[in-house]
């Protein structure tokens, strides 16, 4: 009989043979910034998460930097929304201001800029709309402009989340032409149309005004298609690829890890976060234990970078251990 339990008999032995280790340095924390002054508004559906105005952002940044988290993913909520998402590529837009603030206070903290139009369009879709259709090729130049504007503000990584075809190539070309040859692209390559995004849409005020995102985000049933999306993004110049959501798609994370050598990120999305918080608030689960188990599982599946709303808590807990 093989005695597997020998190596489980003490914490020191379990530590010694642990295959997957989590560190704060591979976590990215999403932050929501909005225009205005003195704002720290709780997001109802995401306990512990707030919308910040730029003047108060330092409070949060200090905690993030202190925790040793790799970086922040910035989501801007503009005052003005229109058909063409003009505030998305305004050099003085809300996300651009946040990037400048972050880089000024913590030059070492990575400023990852989400690039998508949905927070900035009046209709809430991720692309240019004509009638009921979300236009692909007409959206690409706007994404390019947004990426360049955020790179100019000092963004360390450009992260397109729109799922238009050809956006990585278009953004790469726009960045290169503007002289940002060294700004990497982290593409949301396998982004599924998911019910797990609803709390985010509350937080970012970005729910589509009509229809849904199924004509551009992926069908949750498809893993081979996810690999094709990832392959194409790598071919177009993505430096890092992403699977999103994470927990319900760990098979996709694993398949991507096995197939490609490009650095791989997974996005532990808002709904995944809110479910844990809701159950923990009721005392039904042990939050710390569940969060560390979830994040370890995402890493075990093959993601080297994890974007998560739990990052601040997780970093603290990892320190304690």
**Which residues does 236 contact at the CB level (< 8 Å), separation at least 6?**
166, 168, 169, 172
Asked whether position 67 contacts ligand PBG by CB under 6 A, the answer is no
How close are the terminal C-alpha atoms of the chain, in Å? Answer: 33
Among 2, 40, 103, 191, which one carries the catalytic annotation?
Answer: 191
Q: Of 139, 161, 183, 189, which lies in the binding site for ligand PBG, with binding defined by CB under 6 A?
A: 161
Asked whether position 248 contacts ligand PBG by CB under 6 A, the answer is no
Q: Cα separation of 294 and 247, whole Å?
A: 7
Asked whether position 22 contacts Zn ion by CB under 5 A, the answer is no
Q: Of 57, 118, 134, 226, which lies in the binding site for Zn ion, with binding defined by CB under 5 A?
A: 118
Shortest CB 265 distance to Zn ion, Å: 17
Shortest CB 137 distance to ligand PBG, Å: 18
SS3 of 113, please?
strand
Q: Is 145 a catalytic residue?
A: no
Shortest CB 161 distance to Zn ion, Å: 6
Q: Report CA-CA distances (Å) from 61 to 36, 52, 86, 111, 308.
A: 18, 11, 27, 11, 15
Among 145, 244, 277, 299, which one carries the catalytic annotation?
Answer: 244
Q: Which is nearer to Zn ion, 206 or 294 (CB)?
A: 206
Contact 66, 22 (CB under 8 A): no
Give CA torsion, residues 129, 216, 196, 293, to 10 deg: -140
Which residue, 52, 48, 50, is CA-closest to 36?
Answer: 52
Site residues for Zn ion, 121-160, by CB under 5 A, read 126
Asked whether position 201 contacts ligand PBG by CB under 6 A, the answer is yes
Q: Which is nearer to ligand PBG, 180 or 200 (CB)?
A: 200
Q: Of 29, 32, 197, 317, which lies in the binding site for ligand PBG, with binding defined by CB under 6 A?
A: 197
Asked whether position 126 contacts ligand PBG by CB under 6 A, the answer is yes
Q: Is 191 a catalytic residue?
A: yes
Q: Report CA-CA distances (Å) from 191 to 129, 188, 252, 318.
A: 20, 6, 11, 28
Q: Quick one: CA dihedral 114, 72, 45, 218, positive or negative?
A: positive
- Span interacting with ligand PBG, options 4-12, 194-202, 248-256, 279-287, rule CB under 6 A: 194-202
Which residue, 246, 6, 37, 208, is CA-closest to 126?
Answer: 208
Total binding residues for ligand PBG by CB under 6 A? 12
Contact 156, 183 (CB under 8 A): yes
Instruction: Answer with the entry of Zn ion, ligand PBG, none that 125 interacts with (C-beta below 5 to 8 A by kind).
Output: none
Q: Of 73, 109, 116, 242, which lies in the binding site for Zn ion, with binding defined by CB under 5 A?
A: 116
Write out the residues near ligand PBG by the rule CB under 6 A. 114, 116, 118, 126, 161-162, 197, 200-201, 213, 269-270
Which residues are identified as catalytic?
A: 191, 244
């Amino acid at each position: 009989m093989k005695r597997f339990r020998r190596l489980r008999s003490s914490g020191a032995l379990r530590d010694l043979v642990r295959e997957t280790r989590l560190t704060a340095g591979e976590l990215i924390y999403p932050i929501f910034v909005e225009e205005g002054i003195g704002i720290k508004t709780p997001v109802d559906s995401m306990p512990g998460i707030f919308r910040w105005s730029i003047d108060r952002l330092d409070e949060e940044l200090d905690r993030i930097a202190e925790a040793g988290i790799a970086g922040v993913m910035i989501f801007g909520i503009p005052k003005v929304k229109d058909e063409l998402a003009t505030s998305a590529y305004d050099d003085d837009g809300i996300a651009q201001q946040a990037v400048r603030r972050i880089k000024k206070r913590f030059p070492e903290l990575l400023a990852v800029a989400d690039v998508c139009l949905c927070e900035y369009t009046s209709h809430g879709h991720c692309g240019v709309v004509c009638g009921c259709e979300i236009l692909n090729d007409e959206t690409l130049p706007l994404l390019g402009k947004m990426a360049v504007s955020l790179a100019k503000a000092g963004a360390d990584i450009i992260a397109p989340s729109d799922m238009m075809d050809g956006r990585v190539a278009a953004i790469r070309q726009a960045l290169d032409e503007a002289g940002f040859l060294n700004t990497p692209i982290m593409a949301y390559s396998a982004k599924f149309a998911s019910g797990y995004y609803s709390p985010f849409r509350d937080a970012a005020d970005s729910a589509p005004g009509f229809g849904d995102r199924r004509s551009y985000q992926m069908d949750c049933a498809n893993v081979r298609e996810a690999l094709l999306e990832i392959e194409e993004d790598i071919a177009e110049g993505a430096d890092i690829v992403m699977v999103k959501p994470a927990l319900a798609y760990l098979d996709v994370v694993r398949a991507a890890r096995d197939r490609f050598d490009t650095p791989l990120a997974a996005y532990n999305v808002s709904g995944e976060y809110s479910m844990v918080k809701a159950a923990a608030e009721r005392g039904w689960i042990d939050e710390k234990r569940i969060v560390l188990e979830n994040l370890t599982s995402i890493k075990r599946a093959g993601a080297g970078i994890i974007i998560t709303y739990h990052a601040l808590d997780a970093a603290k807990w990892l320190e304690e251990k």
